A = this chain, B = another copy of it.
Amino acid sequence: MPYEKELAALSDPTRQAIIQRLRLGPQNVARLAEGFPISRPAISQHLKVLSDAGLLSVTPNGTRRIYALSPDRMRDLRDWMNSLWDDARGAFSRAAHDLAKEGTPNDRSD
């Protein structure tokens, strides 16, 4: 299970919205929380999940904490998605080929 934590972090709609926000640029917590219908501590908890997954980086600046997207981990995820897609294509056309020949691909009995 290669990217369990990262995908779990991205699976929440609020965290996805946070990611979308940070696509425009780094932001501190208070400003980030302004656009959401939930409390600021809830945003902090989501930011912790995203940070623990390596998707965000933090830069303290005075009392503020600036959060930004971490391109490195994001690139790893993208590469994994790429390989997944390649295998999906391969398995798909192979299955289509097999089905055209005999009808059932995995017709083995142990």
A/B interface sample: 24 pairs, CB < 8 A = A1-B16, A1-B20, A4-B11, A4-B16, A7-B7, A7-B11, A8-B12, A10-B11, A23-B84, A23-B88, A25-B105, A26-B106, A28-B106, A59-B99, A66-B105, A68-B92, A68-B95, A71-B92, A74-B81, A74-B84, A77-B81, A77-B85, A78-B85, A81-B81
Asked whether any CB of chain B lies closer than 8 Å to the CB of A24, the reply is yes
Bound CA–CA A26/B105 (angstroms): 7
Looking at chain A's contact residues, is the secondary structure mostly helix, strand, loop, or mixed? helix
Q: Decide: B17 and A91 in contact? CB cutoff 8 A.
A: no
Contact pick for A91, options B1, B22, B81, B103, CB 8 Å? B22
